[in-house]
Amino acid sequence: MHAGPDGGISVVVPCFNCQAYVGEALDSILCQTRKADEINVIDDGSTDASAAEIARFSAHVRHVRQNNQGIAAARNRGVTMSNRALIAFLDADDLWPADSLAARMDLMTRDSTLAAAFGHVEQFISPEIDATVQAQFQVPPAAQPGRLIGAMLIRRSVFGRVGLFDTSLKVGETLEWTARLDESHGKTAMVDGVVLRRRIHGANTVATEKRLHSDYLRVLRAAIARRRSIAGG
């Protein structure tokens, strides 16, 4: 994989106990019409067979293991490892349509002032989930615009201005980081089509850590405080 004249794209894939899904996620990256120039998989202390599944892709990805520190720390490790001008993220249980990188890259190429490009997100219930469990999930019937991390392509230089993800947060780290992106006046744009297929399977972090949703309140309070400080300064 080699960087083109655009400086190239690094893809960061955080993985924690995703042996059932990480192979599909990596396949969806490798099948992109605009190929990634670098793929960094951060195994965040998995205790299942994720490492063996990732090893099947050893010719195409760089696989790094670390002690379990949370998804924010795994993403930060991937960012600091990345050597390309643009960075995209894909969680190990999600998928990209084949034109995902190309669509976002097109926006970034046409407007050099963009800090990041996002796109629409389609949610789907993982097919192996029992029907009685599926009935408990509420999934939007149509794709929606999403400022989710897996729908974002961003210039690596932006992290120097905005900072990395907040590792003190168990959930809400993306919301907190995009709030800082907005406060930095980073210009963003939205692809019309679907760039991320988000898998719902019952073990998603947000689904299993509802007790940690107080993090969201802390994120919102911090964002309000920062904006008041900026306005008052």
User: Is 35 buried (19+), middle (13-18) or exposed (0-12) by CB count in 10 A?
Assistant: middle
Cα atoms in the Cβ-side hemisphere of radius 13 Å centred on 156: 18
pLDDT (average), residues 170-196: 94
Q: Assign domain 9-163+184-202 one CATH number from 3.90.550.10, 3.40.50.300, 3.40.50.720, 1.10.3210.10.
A: 3.90.550.10
pLDDT band (50, 70, 90) for residue 195: very high
Span 70-106, pLDDT tens digits? 999 999 999 999 999 999 999 999 999 999 999 999 9
Domain assignments of the chain as residue spans, ordered by start: 9-163+184-202
The per-residue pLDDT for 135 is: 76
The length of the chain is 233
The per-residue pLDDT for 139 is: 83
B/e letters for 43-79, b = 16+ CB within 10 Å, e = fewer, are bbbbeeebbebbeebeeebebeeeeeebbbbbbbbbb
Q: What is the pTM of this model?
A: 0.86
In the chain, the N- to C-terminal Cα span, in Å, equals 47
Q: Which two tokens stand for residue 34?
A: 């605009």
3-state helix, strand, coil in the chain (%, to 5): 40, 25, 40
Q: Which residue has the tokens 């600091």?
A: 80
How far from 98 is each of 25, 103, 129, 194, CA to CA, in Å?
12, 10, 24, 10
Q: Which two tokens stand for residue 122?
A: 């389609």
Positive or negative: CA dihedral 178, 176, 168, 42: negative
The per-residue pLDDT for 68 is: 97
Which residues pair with residue 120 across a beta bridge? 145, 194
Residue 220 has pLDDT above 60, yes or no: no
